[in-house]
Structure 1
């Protein structure tokens, strides 16, 4: 395969660029259909003139349909995208990126999707689909899956589909999250995952940040105590990794807390813990839910995070030693290799 691809590039040097462009267009349409030309142009970073030419060609090939509400993928188009995946991964060097990161970071598994979610928001949909695919492979009937919050985890929830094993699972939030926007809260995401897959869920209705007194009081409640026991028994944990200042600001942290994070050089956040570049915990929120010691007891930990701006945060969290499977994108992967 590799030799054949090299010969193709020598004989038709512009073939790779044309293939990349058309594949990118098809992937965006597949993720966001129905979609208009103007929106598609913005998403793929091409002029409307180029997009018109390419989509007209793809329509002539029977891969797209046009309507008043936008463009949609045909069944043949979906088939072509699926069948091209292995070739695209080889040509884009994604397989090589995965092997490099597994070796450099000591991870059991790395999955890299094409693109950069920092500049191409639709790439998050691919991250979500890859996470769901991995969950299908690792999930065992009637087990507990603990799910964190965040924008990338929202994409995971949207990618869930009915599945024989997934519908037997119990989805629980990794932590309280009433300080977040509703759509990004772990409660919302785990209920959406359960709804789309046909599984069951339990919710944790507590604030994300608690005083010591409130924390101690909540732990006296029998229902909350039982739910926490279930959450901490999860065999699979699915979570995102955030950039420290971004996450603290989004959760409306106080000026004092923001100052502490800056002083302690925090670069990453996950599960209410903040980490510096070396993976040391430099700040911890008093929150109800999963602790790092609980996460380390899980059978599988799936981290889902992309975008070149997240590279430093991903590396910092992984240095703490909580790792199993990383699902990321090309932008973050290439940036991480530069930092290592």
Structure 2
């Protein structure tokens, strides 16, 4: 090593030790060494490039992150969070997915965001797992009316209220059923000033938190009394694979005609798609086909799911490809 290179290396080592071992900021190092801050930044980059500094990250989530990357690449979405769940118990899965979604929202949500909230157990779990964090002027708004008499604690109104109360933010209520007796009655309800205001606010949302419903007799929308068995079986016979908001899609993610949608109070899937950041919280092997349909259709930007579901999704992605 020439004398010049040796002295250059000495400077690289000194800057690196001050930054990585003593914890000084780049500005503090620049003052100590009488160099500009950009020079310090270049020294630290050179130290890494030349192997003087080797950064090792102890990553307990390496396996999950491999699946996250595979899902984003396979389906072309922006982001994914894959969670290891200790057992296949649906309630435990919802708890862990809710916790992961809550942590993600803390880093995603910004001051002045309007957050559209869907009905469903997984969305409810996310609200229940939230911890207060400070953002200014956030507003939470439901994107569909009530889902029948059952499951009131995870209706969109209830979910929006929980999010708003935990985060000490404004929240709104859509005081209408999700499905009414006729298209004419729906139009009358949507013409009501307060209901129209809530729907218009939902359309202006910057973030949406949604679930993805499967199409079966065990679906939440059937169990809640929101959709009767005959209607869900008819949609299944037409090729429906998933339900999101007021819309049904086939396994390729294409929207299907549905007579009941003309009687539903809430945002359609096309209206939802106009929201810049759509976060879906959904898991369980029984929902894998529904989630895959939503991914293929490009209806979501971020997916929070569990490991077993992620494995099923990748199999379905490869099979479809």
* TM-score with structure 2 setting the length: 0.74
Cα pair distance change 1:259/1:199, threshold 3 Å: same
What is the CA–CA distance in structure 2 between the aligned matches of 1:145 and 1:117, rounded to whole Å? 31
1:260 partnered with 2:234: yes
Q: 2:49 aligns to what?
A: none
Encode CA deviations 1:81-130: one digit per residue, 9 max, x unaligned: xxxx964312xx11110111110000110110102774353232221122
Distance 1:191 1:214, change over 3 A: same
* 1:38-82 per-position Cα deviation (integer Å, ceiling 9, x unaligned): xxxxxxxxxxxxxxxxxxxxxxxxxxxxxxxxxxxxxxxxxxxxx
Does structure 1 residue 334 correspond to structure 2 residue 311?
yes
Return closer, same or farther for 1:251/1:283 CA change in 2, 3 Å cut-off: farther
How big is the alpha-carbon RMSD for the aligned residues of Structure 1 and Structure 2? 2.0
CA contact (8 A) 1:178 1:207 kept: yes
1:170 equivalent among 125, 136, 139: 139
The change in CA–CA distance for 1:144 and 1:238 in structure 2 (over 3 A counts) is same
Structure 1 distance, partners of 2:115, 2:58, is 30
Q: Are the equivalent residues in 2 in contact too, given 1:301–1:323 (CA < 8 A)?
A: yes
> Cα distance, 1:158 vs. partner?
0.5
Q: Could you tell me how far apart the structure 2 residues matched to 1:125 and 1:312 are? A: 21
Structure 1 partner of 2:101: 131
1:306 maps to which residue?
283
Q: Structure 1, residues 307-332: CA drift from partner, whole Å, max 9, x if none? A: 12111110011222212111111011
Quote the residue 2:66 is aligned against: 96
Partner residue of 1:111? Answer: 81
Q: Does 1:214 align with 2:185?
A: yes
> How many pairs were matched up?
253
Cα distance in structure 1, aligned partners of 2:223 and 2:157: 17
Distance 1:296 1:262, change over 3 A: closer
Structure 1 position 215, deviation (Å): 0.8
Q: Residues 187-236 of structure 1, C-alpha deviation per residue, up to 9 Å, x if partnerless? A: 00110111112111010010111220111111221221122111111110
Deviation (angstroms), 1:183: 1.0
- How many Å separate the matches in 2 of 1:208 and 1:228? 12
Task: Give matches, 1:1-340, under 5 Å.
Answer: 87-90=59-62, 93-115=63-85, 118-119=88-89, 121-165=91-135, 168-179=137-148, 180-210=150-180, 211-245=182-216, 246-252=219-225, 253-284=227-258, 285=261, 286-340=263-317
Distance 2:82 2:210 in 1: 16
- Tell me if the contact between 1:110 and 1:327 (Cα under 8 Å) persists in the aligned partners: yes
- TM-aligned CA distance change 1:290 to 1:152, over 3 Å: same
Structure 1 unaligned segments of length 5 or more: list them: 1-84
Gaps of 5+ in 2: 1-56
Give 1 or 2 for the bigger CA radius of gyration.
2
Shift of 1:281: 2.0
Counterpart of 1:111 in 2: which secondary structure? strand
Structure 1: distance between partners of 2:72 and 2:201? 31
